[in-house]
Amino acid sequence: MSGAESVIQVLADEGVDTVFGYSGGAILPIYDAVFRFNENSCDGIDAPKMRLVVPANEQGAGFMAAGYARASGTVGVVMVTSGPGATNTVTPVRDSMADSVPMVVICGQVPRAAIGTDAFQEAPVSAIMGAIAKHVFLVSDPSLLEETMRSAFELARTGRPGPVVVDIPKDVQNSDIDFKGHGILPLHGYRNRLAAVNRNRLTDKDCERFYTMLSESERPLIYAGGGVINANATKAMRRFANEYGIPVTTTLMALGASDTKHPLALHMLGMHGVASANYAVEDCDFLIAIGARFDDRVAGNAAKFSPSARHIAQFDVDSAEIGKVKQVNWHHVGVLQTDLVDMLEYGRRIGFSKSFAPWHDEIAVLKKEYALNYDRDNALIQPYAIIEEINKYTKGEAIISTGVGQHQMWAAQYFDFREPRLWLTSGSMGTMGFGLPAAIGAQFARPDRVVIDIDGDASIRMNIGELETATTYNQPIKVIVLNNFGDGMVRQWQKLYFDGRMSGSDKSLHHKDFVKAAEADGFKFSKRLDKKDDVERVIREFMDFKGPAFLEVIIDRDAGVYPMVGPGQGYDNMITGDFIKSRSKPDDDSPGPSEMF
């Protein structure tokens, strides 16, 4: 078969049912192979076996594939042409690498003989992507194309997941090859490292040391990161936590790893974490980090992070994360699910038992005393109230996608998440424009779930063309724009740290009629909510509508995200605002402008 046909056959062999991408000259042979594969595979059924979803922009395709991967736990697939097609996927590739999302990006490339001649729509994909992807392949030998494609999927999904880019010259796509139906590249170094991690099981001595620290603890706390979800280790972590009654707080990326409605769940910690979670981190004497990397949005001041902890333990799949930011007393690099099961089995074998009832009482007090709150009497619509109202319908079971900004943090704080893979957001990169395409990708992956994009007026503009993609494919996503007429998070920082100088955060983009834009893109439900008295009714209509639905909400422009821990500060300097109780006033050691990001 042709090289293009072999690419599609490998996708089929890997169980790929949806491909997101935009065509162009250098990728046309593979696009044609998709068409012919579906035509030959229908067998009288009026549905193709491999959906090809065409977005408005290649960046949208990348984020759709990321949303698909995050919601499904499988590899997302992107297919774009050379030059601008490939460079438009740079941001989604970096975003997925930063958040450990498995993705395979198939790029068309100019013919081999033209590489390096500045040919039409040529870009040095290997050089560009090599710095930001988990791995990049430039296929120069057609006989290795099949093995390269299989290896790309292996690399994307194994170990610490990430994006893999396969750059395929057009003449390689058109080459005749012998398709074997098996085979992978000899990636000995990678597989040896992966095998070493898989073999690295906890020993009895490792477990004994861990349980000694747990026995000496009165206030243990699990700090769970996105690695728990990426490793499909949520059930194992919950069993371990429940066995001994250890409270759990999660990072932004791990929302849903712990059922937020559980009495011992502390929701999210960090820069905009719930006050009770941050105070629990302050008070705990044994911090157990599982699949978490002590990033700057959690441990902005590493020296002051978890100051009362006599011991810190760290579980991770990546040895590079051990001690990178915070020195720990105990660590293990291995497969999280296996390690947590082994640790629990050892505890049962030795009959470990200890009551942490006093700590549970303290946790209950923290959650009650320092709960999230806002100005409920304000005549203007408060964004928190909107999310609380929607949460009554979703009950922690909908997939929530977000852009980046204040709306992202409000959604993280006020939504419940009963399960993993219900929360989709750009964490490490903080990429505006992520929410809408990621929601579309998630809806393709999970048609059984309600999918809601909580977005901001500035963030949704970045990829607003994907509104038409949602209606073109009749994906019943629900899109909410919390409109405060500008970059709300930047304005909040400017108020706090730049004496209120609103440089560039307004942008004067106040003329966009989002409702008409959504109507023009085919949304049958497209409304604006600007009266507080209408909130309950309009949200009900919005949630009950069958099909794609769009809602713009005009919110209080001065609504802020609280709590907030300033950059470089410890949790003892947490700003809680006017409506969330604080147990200590922050001092005047405010960060300077250079520390903003």
What positions carry a catalytic annotation? 58, 120-121, 170, 489
Tokens 């941050």 correspond to 278
Locate 522 and state its tokens.
Answer: 């085919």
Q: Do 50 and 17 meet the contact criterion of CB atoms below 8 Å apart?
A: yes
Angle at 426 between CA 577 and CA 224, to 5 degrees: 75
* Ranges of H-type helices in 26-89: 28-41, 58-72, 84-87
Write b or e for each residue in 320-359: b if 16 or more Cβ atoms lie within 10 A of its Cβ, otherwise e: ebbeeebebebbbbbbbbbbbbbbbebbeeeeeeeebeeb
**Left, alpha or beta for 467 (phi > 0: left; psi -120 to 50: alpha)?**
alpha
What is the Cα gyration radius of the chain? 25
Q: Determine the Cα–Cα distance for residues 416 and 396; give it in Å rounded to an integer.
A: 4
Give 373: exposed, middle or buried? Use CB within 10 Å, 0-12, 13-18, 19+: middle
The number of CA neighbours under 13 Å toward the Cβ of 57 is 20
Q: Do 576 and 582 meet the contact criterion of CB atoms below 8 Å apart?
A: yes
Antiparallel, parallel or unpaired: β 76-80 and 135-138: unpaired
CA distances from 155 to 71, 98, 180, 193, 494 (A): 19, 16, 20, 12, 42
CA 103 from centre of chain = 13
The DSSP 8-state label assigned to residue 263 in this structure reads T
Angle at 294 between CA 288 and CA 300, to 5 degrees: 125
